Homo-oligomer: A and B are copies of this chain.
Amino acid sequence: MSDKLSTLGLGFDTQAAPEKRKNESIADWLGRQIVSGVYASGDPIPKEMDFLAETGISRGAYREALRRLAGKGMLVTRTRSGTRVTPREQWSLLDPDVVRWSFESGAPPDWYIRALYEMRAMIEPPAAAFAAERRSEADMQLFRDALHAMRYCDMTEDSWHNADASFHRAILISSHNPVLLSLEAGICAAVAYTTAFRYRDMPNPHTRNPVEEHAAVFERIEARDPVGARKLMTELVDTALLDSKGTTVFDLGLPTLKV
């Protein structure tokens, strides 16, 4: 895959809080440090006394931040030995914070983007099918709002990404499967990255209107047609990584994903 993908700006709304609490902002800062590779797998992070001396932060606040990250499987602490970063495979790679840190740090690793995209390609088509079967009227309103936002957004990155994320979140909500909904952060990150890549120099003759593609999925869900919804969502996913010239950006092994 081109390394372009990992340097492309993202900028979708990550609802970053003002961060009033210290232990929270320390966890946030340290999380970014770790995610961005400052501390590699197995590396020790600053000793409590060192950190305390350098920053003036109290030991308690620092320790609470460490526990936050430990809960995500990012750290292991051993008495006397220190606190070390766990191998990335053991993290909660779909944890909203981990996703946010990774993408806000500017350059998430290519393997991570690709892995999220593959996961999205597995999840969204059947999720759309479930949505077609289980959707409520309230769910449909979510789709209408998202499509409205897509149609009338000012086409800046942020407003588009927010509308796009709302649509895909609506898919997950309508599937009425809370586990799928917990994948939202990872799926929306993959969606934002790939659609940013796909549509960034629209219009061109090789990609259809993104709004209409989404509307088509919506229409099948509204019609309670799971097979159709799945098919259209599969097309949306499969074609997402064609660039502006219609060539494949990276090969997802389509024979294994196409239905």
Binding site for B on A (CB under 8 A): 23, 27, 60, 63-65, 67-73, 88-89, 91-97, 111-112, 114-116, 118-119, 121-123, 126-127, 129-130, 132-133, 177-183, 186, 226-227, 230, 253, 255-257, 259
Contacts and interface: CB of A to CB of B under 8 A. Distances in A.
A169 to B, nearest CB: 11
Contact of A177 (B70, B118, B123): B118
Contacts of A70: 68, 71
Which applies to chain A's interface (DSSP): helix, strand, loop or mixed?
Answer: helix
A71 B27 contact: yes
Nearest to A173: B89
A23, A115, A126, A179 pick with most chain B CB within 10 angstroms: A179
Contact of A186 (B130, B133, B179, B181): B179
A226 B256 CA distance: 6
B23 A67 contact: yes
Nearest to A97: B71
A181 B89 contact: yes
Nearest to A129: B256
Contacts of A60: 60, 63
9 contacts: A65-B67, A67-B67, A67-B71, A68-B70, A70-B71, A91-B182, A115-B180, A118-B180, A129-B256
